[in-house]
Structure 1
């Protein structure tokens, strides 16, 4: 009987940790979007999440970490979208179609609000570059794996770099013109790249 009890405890602890993590993240983002990132303190986030400041710091070392945690899965989402494409597609088509599929599934007012917050906050904007670097590395590796090429294949790295640049530009265009879907700009940018390359 004792063995059964002890075997279930880690699962319960993990669930409680996940719930606390999600609550801090949700309350932090709510406050950042309502009050502004700089105007919100960690103490306010902790109070809203009904945890102590010390508990909050066990989950997130800074306000920036709370924001970036909402984007932590994004590089893998892109890699998974590429991995789901037909292997016979040309590299550029594979990346373009994967990014368009992803944009259509994950476009929302909340996603735009978070992107605007990051763009408008210097400390977040600078830290956001690390996300793009992770995307580029993972994207190049995923393309190489999909095509059965060496991990550091030059064509895969070039296409990954171009795709990340287009992703940044499409996000900026979306923030400047919310009525236009980011995938429209993405299609235009990939078409322009093909013209230049051709």
Structure 2
């Protein structure tokens, strides 16, 4: 039997603002279609396993042709990792949007703690069944883990550029700092997810996650001094 998944219903088009350019509406429709195809694929992968579902089957369930699907997503893995698309430059955006009297590292530290408080899935501190299932799919599929490194690399590059703009200094120094910061956030999130997935109560994980984040960012301050000070 072929894997099947309900095709996400088409959402009604958002009304244009009186002076909104046509390109804005087209872009919103395109982004909505990205999300619809990705969520259809993830539903199939969760139900039947990543390796057991073909791209052709995803295309059929999403009611698009296979060539059209590949115009949206370069690989099968990208169908899953699309959920991370908004997070790829998140650290860079946090640094760019920080208040003038706040250092880059202080802004990133506060942002991570805020994510823990709202149980943002990207911090690993979320016990919703769908989130846990998605993380099992992600970390349990070698090709997805390998593809995830590409997203992390782009996150590091974007953050390095933002750090250089915020605090100056040699580009290589910024890239080294960005690598450390992204790695710390990734490791903290993976540890939170591992404990939640093992059944540790969320309240217990939350308290430990806050302490771990405080310790981790304290260590970062001693290693990425330029970006933790007003220099």
> What's the TM-score once normalised by structure 1's chain length?
0.76
Structure 2 residue runs of 5 or longer lacking an equivalent are 1-20, 197-201, 226-231
Bigger helix fraction? 1
Give the deviation of 1:103 after TM superposition.
5.0
Tell me which residue corresponds to 1:163.
181
Tell me which residue corresponds to 2:164.
144
Flag the 1:183–1:163 CA change in 2: closer, same or farther, 3 A: farther
Tell me which residue corresponds to 2:215.
188
Flag the 1:9–1:39 CA change in 2: closer, same or farther, 3 A: same
Tell me which residue corresponds to 2:140.
120
Give the deviation of 1:81 after TM superposition.
1.8
Moved more, 31-40 or 164-173: 31-40
Matched, 1:70 2:83: yes
Tell me which residue corresponds to 2:5.
none
Question: Post-superposition, which runs of at least 4 consecutive aligned residues in structure 1 deviate over 6 A?
Answer: 8-12, 195-198
Q: Distance in 1 between matches of 2:224 and 2:73?
A: 44
Question: 1:37–1:117: 8 Å Cα contact kept in structure 2?
Answer: yes
Structure 1 residue runs of 5 or longer lacking an equivalent are 1-7
Q: How does 1:39-58 map to 2 (within 5 A)?
A: 39-58=52-71
Q: What is the CA RMSD across the aligned residues, in angstroms?
A: 3.2
Q: Aligned pair count?
A: 190
